[in-house]
Structure 1
């Protein structure tokens, strides 16, 4: 199975100078770090991307936040240039456990965890299970609840069916290598139109069967029903930032999720889709800074 190669797919990777590789928990992690030029130690932000993505998802937002905070972004297991498989597999709990082990190896204690889509679910699981104690969680297009209606049953079932089919990742990778197909897929599935650099990164990753297998495996192992049940135990303040043109996760899910947590707030971005932080990173950075000034 082909995997993204740092010397090939990562040759022109966004913010490549901020990258390093760290061994922790049986994985070789791709980590990017941004530190501002300041005397006082700044607050630390951990960035967790969504399914099928990698650190490129933060290509503009991370440097913007890095002007004011210590920012750590990682490629999650099964994604990007991180290699190996966590002890708990690609489930929410397994991913959260792997991230907690990495944070220990890095000796990093994030004051804020920002998660995009599935990354927000991992952030919530970290806090609920006591594996991290952030002062706040910010969910961008957060996937915290089961998909609405019939999709709640069909989506995970289809993902599990694809997961056991060894041919599926190769087929998806072949489609992603078709010129123009990745950009069309991103718009159809997310409602977002991102820049050419971002599309090229997604195409490079999804053009490898290992990235596709990681995304499928993650979706197949995802237990959002269990997370929904546990959200009431989440005492960490939560800010959800959600585009009203999101085709992947409806705005109604964000409203319900905010109501389910103890201390939640929703900020709606008009005209933006599931990749709002890639469409308008400056706007999202301003929202994050304003929120952190009141919480940290």
Structure 2
């Protein structure tokens, strides 16, 4: 049975206010715990070298395949809870905070190129004893997923790329803004996080103001590491190497792209589909840069159909 994913805002805020004496941080933490629990997930950490990696996993393991979920730039593991909650009854889900993100370690002096991050994913999954999994990634995480699949063909059952980075043959509104010195993906001051949400998402989920304000504070606090990560990816000059790498992917690949994506032009999906053997592209009308957040039910249905395991 699939769990309901919509946040019961009245319940959460009422309980939060009682338990936290109106603390915004308390409301945020209660709401996040509630949404994770509703999705059948719980938080944990694992040490990988000098890094502490935060992740979400099934509260109870099931007799099914494993799904690994990799978020995008400036995002975190909780971007996946709405989709994960539709899958944790039948799959063992791991949603990871990459280094520099979420609740994981945020050193400024490690490599953050896509190749580096794909290497961290390999180390994280080895530490978690995760093998032979379906891998999903969004945006930057989609590019990392593609590289991981190319480099570890025996460990990937399928790969799902949600609006992946890595190829910019068709430019987007974001490219124009960054060229002008304005990056809406890196909040710097109050109001910037709301702008980020409006820019990235065509269908924004409702987020109560106390929770939104804490999310904004955390995003602004991460500005320095976000700038380091963005610069590492931007300056790597990786595109030709990336395109060559993804031709080595052996697993079936599903590319899901929101047609209204302003961050990365959806037409780049055609380039991914042409480059990756055994890949299939689906463009989702009325959806922006994060289909798993904006359309979790539809995303889950497409994924199940793709792997030949439709919902009962």
Gaps of 5+ in 2: 1-24
Structure 1 residue 15 and structure 2 residue 36: aligned?
A: yes
Gaps of 5+ in 1: 1-5, 163-168
* Cα deviation code 1:216-249 (max 9, x no counterpart): 2222222441212322222222100111111111
Structure 1 residue 231 and structure 2 residue 242: aligned?
A: no
Equivalence for 1:184: 195
SS in 1 for 2:85: helix
Equivalence for 2:216: 203
- Give the distance between the partners of 2:153 and 2:46, measured in 1 at CA: 19
TM superposition shift of 1:184: 2.7
- Provide the TM-score with structure 1 as the length reference: 0.80
Between Structure 1 and Structure 2, whose CA radius of gyration is higher? Answer: 2
Higher relative contact order (CA 8 A, sep 6+): 1
SS in 2 for 1:286: helix
| Map 1:42-191 → 2, pairs under 5 A | 42-85=64-107, 89-130=111-152, 133-146=155-168, 148=170, 173-175=187-189, 177-178=190-191, 181-191=192-202
- CA gap of 1:84–1:119, structure 2 versus 1, over 3 A, is same
Is residue 106–residue 225 contact of structure 2 (8 Å, CA) maintained in 1?
no
SS in 1 for 2:155: coil
- Give the distance between the partners of 2:138 and 2:276, measured in 1 at CA: 17
- CA gap of 1:116–1:132, structure 2 versus 1, over 3 A, is farther
Q: CA RMSD in A?
A: 3.3
Aligned residue pairs total: 274
Is residue 161–residue 254 contact of structure 2 (8 Å, CA) maintained in 1?
yes
- Provide the TM-score with structure 2 as the length reference: 0.76
TM superposition shift of 1:86: 9.3
Is residue 146–residue 152 contact of structure 1 (8 Å, CA) maintained in 2?
no
